[in-house]
Structure 1
Amino acid sequence: MVCEKCEKKLSKVIVPDKWKEGASNTTEGGGRKINENKLLSKKKRWTPYGNTKCTICKQQVHQDAKYCHTCAYSKGVCAMCGKQVLDTKFYKQSNV
């Protein structure tokens, strides 16, 4: 769960670029080369689970966030900035 301000910072969806000039999946305009070995010619590979970890449980996070989804919901804070979003005072929660 993220606040309204951090919704704009969310990661992009993993889909190929639209077919347009200058897209990375086209062959013209300096895009993808034909029969290119991606392991040898990697520039900056995108990793879905980067090196970001939750500050509470040390679990890997898939966004540029401070908290994982479970910890953010249980604390009622925004996963990215840590701002209080939800009042969990009267919630019945357990760590089981």
Structure 2
Amino acid sequence: MVCEKCEKKLSKVIVPDKWKEGASNTTESGGRKINENKLLSKKNRSMDPYGSTKCIICKQQVHQNAKYCHTCAYSKGVCAMCGKQVLDTKLYKQSNV
């Protein structure tokens, strides 16, 4: 659960582009080289797949540079990335199961 402002900060999902024209992952448009060594090219390698950040409350690993994991963010009613109050959970019946 993220607020509208942080929704723009969410990173893109790595999937192939649908259309061949202008796609960055096809060989026809010049976006990808054949037999390219990925260790040597290191183009846009800022993604950390194992998540180096941890939730403030439960210390569980989180993704996309968030402060709270999904469970803690929903139970507190806050944005997972910035911590802003998004939802009023005062009248919710929640358990820690």
Give the TM-score taking structure 2 as reference length: 0.75
Query: Which residue is equivalent to 1:52?
Result: 53
How far the C-alpha of 1:6 sits from its partner, in A, is: 1.0
- Over the aligned positions, Cα root-mean-square deviation in angstroms equals 2.3
Q: How many residues are aligned here?
A: 94
Q: State percent identity of aligned pairs.
A: 94
Q: Aligned equivalents of 2:38 and 2:95: distance in 1?
A: 45
For structure 1, which runs of at least 5 residues remain unmatched after alignment? none
Deviation larger for 12-21 or 55-64:
12-21
Q: Deviations over 1:3-44 (max 9, x none)?
A: 111111111121135667886434478743321232444344
Conserved in 2, the CA contact under 8 Å of 1:22 and 1:29? yes
Q: Distance in 1 between matches of 2:23 and 2:53?
A: 28
Q: Higher helix proportion, which one?
A: 2
CA distance in 2, matches of 1:44, 1:71: 31
Distance 1:21 1:91 in 2: 49
Give the TM-score normalised by structure 1: 0.76
- Structure 2: 5+ residue runs without aligned partners? none
